[in-house]
Chain A
C-alpha cells in the first residue's frame, strides 16, 4: 500500500515541512504520493514532482482550496483516502488543523507529532511536554499521522521525476469563509527551518530592548529570532515566535537562550537542538540543566560583547 503526503505550501512554493514529511512517509514502507491542494498552485505541484522518493503528485486546484480551509482540504483528502494505508501531514498549524478531521471521517484514530517510524503500524511520539516518549501501535486500517518535522531529515528537493495527475477539486463546503491573514513580516530564516536560533525571554524587559539587544546578534549569525511564552505574553515578541510545547518545536544546530529561565513547557520546544547556549544571570535557572555551554552573566552586558567578538 502507498502513503499520501499532504503538501504544505502557499500556492507559490512548497514549504520546508513537506520534505521532512516525505522522509517519514518513505519510512512507512510503500510508494509515496503527494497531494497538492491549492489555487493556481501548478508551480507547487511541479516542485513536489522533483522531490526525491515521490512517485506521484496529485494536483487539485480551485478557489475553495486556495486558503486551506480545513473543511475543504479535509474533503479533498477524503476523496483520495481509499487508496492509501498511510496519510501524513506535517505537524504545522495547517496540518494539525486538517488531519484529525480526516481521521474522524475515516473512523480511525490519529497519531500526532510522530518523531520516529518503527514499522508500518508502530511509531514514537513525545507526550507530557516531551518528558516522555511513547511507543504506540495503531490497529486501524489507515494510519493518519502528523509528522514532527524536526524528527526527520528533509528529502532532497531534486532528483525525483514523479508524474503529475490532475484531480477534480471538491466543492466549497459553504460553512466557513476566509476573511484575511496578517503575517509577521520578517527577512530572517523561518523559525522551524533555521540553522541558528537566538531566543529571548522575559528578562529582556521590553519590546524595544528585545529588538535592540537580540537583533544584532541574530543578524551577525544569520539566525532566526525566537521567544519564550513569557516574552510573547508580555508583548515583547509576536505570537508566532513562541518556542515551546504550545508554540513551535525547533531543533536547530545552535540555540542561544537569552534571559530564559527554562520552564518545562519551553524546554519541550527546543531540547532536541544540537548545541544549546544559555545566557542567564540566575545560577539556579533550569535552562542550565540542558545547556551545553552556560554563561552566568547579565545578558545586557554580554550580548553586545558577543556580537563584537563574532
Chain B
C-alpha cells in the first residue's frame, strides 16, 4: 500500500517570531524555516512502516510557494520515495487555509489511492489542528487523531490516541487518516548521503487548478497583535517572603 504524507514549511520552532508593526501579520523576513515538527514525526512513521514491509511507497506532498521544495527534499532524505509540490502563488499576502489544503489532498487521494494518510496533528504557525480531520471528512474516511502508536493489521489500523485524561485505542478500517502526536516516534536525523540521494528522487509540481480546487481563503485576518504584556515581576529572596507575598499581596493562597 501507498502512504501519503502531507508536510508543511513553517517558521522553525525555536524562533521567537514578532508581529509586524502595522498589524498585518508576522514578520517572517529572513526567519529560519523548517518542516513542521509534527510532520517530521509523520514522515518518520511512514518510512518505518515501509521498512517493516507494510507500505510499498511513501509519497510526500506540500502545498505552498516554491520554497516548499526544500521541505519536500528533507522528507525525501528521511526516506520518502517521491514528492508532489502543489504550488500556490509566491505572494506573502495569499493565505492557504486548512479547508483548501484538505480539498487539495482529497484530490490527491482520488489520484494516488493511498492506503493510509499520515499528517501532523497541528502546524505550529496557525495552530489550527484541522487539516487531517477535514481531509477524512471530505474523503469519507475514518480518522485516528493525536496518535501515539500505530499498528497496521489486515485491512485495519489500531491506533492509540492521546486524549484528555489518558490514552484511548481505536481501530479504523483502511484507507484511513491518522494524525501524529509528539510521542509517536523520534524522527531520525538526515545524513549527508541521504540528502544527496534525495536530490535524485522524483518531484512533481502541479497547481491547485490542475486538481480543480478553489483555494480562496474563507477567513479573513483583520489584524494581528502582540499579546498583552505581563507586568514585571519581583524577585523574592527566600521562601518566607514568597509565602508572605502570596498570602498578603497576591492573596491567592
Contact = CB atoms under 8 A, between A and B. Distances in A.
Contacts of A92: 164
Interface stretch (A28-36, A105-113, A160-168, A206-214): A105-113
A292 B252 CA distance: 12
Interface in B88-104: 97-99, 102
Nearest to A232: B183
B57 to A, nearest CB: 24
Interface of chain A: mostly helix, strand, loop or mixed: mixed
Contact of B98 (A100, A135, A276): A100
Interface residues of A, number: 87
A12 B171 CA distance: 24
Given A126-B227, A254-B246, A100 B137 contact: yes
A175 B141 contact: yes
B19 to A, nearest CB: 5
Given A97-B133, A127-B224, A175-B173, A182 B166 contact: yes
B109 to A, nearest CB: 13
A276 B233 contact: yes
Contacts of A281: none
B7 to A, nearest CB: 17
Given A104-B102, A112-B130, A246-B122, A181 B252 contact: no
Interface string B153-167: 000001001111111
Contacts of A177: 170-172
Contact of B99 (A103, A233, A291): A103
Nearest to A124: B225
Contact of B129 (A96, A102, A105): A96
Contacts of B141: 175
A137 B220 contact: yes
Interface in B225-241: 225-227, 230-231, 233-236, 238-240
Contact of B219 (A93, A136, A305): A136
Given A103-B134, A134-B224, A291-B233, A112 B219 contact: no
B224 A132 contact: yes
Contacts of B97: 109
A69 interface: yes
Interface string B24-37: 00100000000000
Interface residues of B, number: 80
Contact of A137 (B124, B137, B222): B222
B171 A176 contact: yes
Contact of A246 (B169, B182, B221): B182
A74 interface: yes
B111 interface: no
Interface string B116-130: 000001101111111
Contacts of B169: 178-182
Interface of A: 69-71, 74, 92-94, 96-105, 107-113, 122, 126-140, 173-184, 192, 196, 221, 229, 232-233, 238-240, 245-246, 248, 253-254, 264-265, 271, 274-277, 288, 290-297, 302, 305-306, 309-310
